Every structure is written in C-alpha cells, then in structure tokens.
Amino acid sequence: MKKSYYRRKYLVDGRYQLSQAAAVIIANVMVLLLISALLSWFYLIAWDGSVAVNHNQRIPFYIMICVLIVTLFSVYFSLRRSRSVAGMMKKLHTVLENAGQGVFPEKKLVFRNSDYFRQLATPLNECLNQLQKKQGVDEAAMIGSLQELVDRIEQDEIDNAGVKRSLGEIIRALK
C-alpha cells in the first residue's frame, strides 16, 4: 500500500506572513546595528592600537555574519509562527465563503493544535449547524408551499390570479 505524503506549506498567506517576517527582520537588524555601534565604540576607547591584531577591521565582517544568521532564523521562525494564524484564517475564510453560498462542511471544522484561536472551532461549528438547520427548514417550508399550490391547481380550487399571488409570496419568501 502506497503512503501519501503531506507537504507542509509554510507560506499560506504571503502578504501577511512576509510583512510579519519583515517587521521581525527590521527589529533584529536595528538591534544588531546598535550592538555593532556599541562594540565599535568600545574597541576605539578600550584599545589604543598597541595590540598585535587590529580587531576593529574584523568587526564589520562579524556583524555581517551575525546579521545574515539572525535574518535567516528570524524569517524561518516568523513564517513558522505566522502560519498558525494565516492557515487558520484561510480555512475560516473558505468555510464561511462556502457557507454563504449554501455549501456546508460535511464534517465538523477542526483546527491544528498549533493554531492560535483554535477555540473558535466550537462556536463556528454551532453557528454552521444552526444555519444548516434553518436552511433545511426554509427549504421544507418552500417545498410544502409549492406542493400545496400544485394540489390546489390540480383540484381547480384556485384561479390564475390566485396562482400568481401564491407564487409571488413564495418568491418573496425565497429572497
């Protein structure tokens, strides 16, 4: 039997997640620049140039390596963390959009354990159940009204004006 593999998507909502990552990167770079300025200032004051190795020449290289490492880690953890919000919101959007068109999920909505606000699944499921019941009741009432109209037409109990009036009422109720 062949196993199916699920590949995790880290970039669920690019606009949100990349702006989140950019904010984290900017904050980390600002901190690194502040630290590099303080280190450079420390070396200029503490060392008078009488040492054998000039440490000040290597500081920009060390800072660039630190900036690169911090940027990579920041992007990775930011995308991973923002995925728990963006993935849930995308799922919510899809379910609500479908429910607005009258298509309800077959199973209860469940979020991942790592998702933030996963407690929203319970009230959302209850809301969808109520909407589904209401839609079923409305459909049953409309079917009953149409069947009653058909029966009255077959028994010649209603004239054309009455048919038009009854159909108009059913159409208004459907809207």
Check whether 140 has a pLDDT greater than 60. Answer: yes
The answer as to whether 73 is a domain residue is yes
Query: Helix (H, G, I), strand (E, B), or coil: what is residue 147?
Result: helix
Q: Are 23 and 74 in contact (CB under 8 A)?
A: no
The answer as to whether 122 is a domain residue is no
The answer as to whether 174 is a domain residue is no
Whether the predicted model's global pTM rises above the 0.85 cut: no
- Give me the pLDDT at residue 93, please: 87
The answer as to whether 1 is a domain residue is no
Which of 12-16, 21-25, 48-52, 162-166 bottoms out in mean pLDDT, i.e. has the lowest?
A: 48-52
The answer as to whether 54 is a domain residue is yes
The answer as to whether 80 is a domain residue is yes
Residue 68's domain spans which residues?
9-87
Instruction: Please state, in angstroms and rounded to a whole number, the distance separating the CA atoms of residues 80 and 70.
Output: 15
- Give me the pLDDT at residue 90, please: 85
Grade residue 136 by pLDDT with cuts at 50, 70 and 90: low
Which of 5-9, 21-25, 151-155 bottoms out in mean pLDDT, i.e. has the lowest?
A: 5-9
More confident residue, 60 or 165: 165
For the chain, the domain total comes to: 1
Per-range mean pLDDT, top range of 54-58, 60-64, 107-111: 107-111
- Residue 44 sits at the vertex; the CA angle it makes with 40 and 48, to the nearest 5 degrees, is 150
The answer as to whether 165 is a domain residue is no
The answer as to whether 28 is a domain residue is yes
Q: Which percentage of the chain shows pLDDT scores above 90?
A: 0
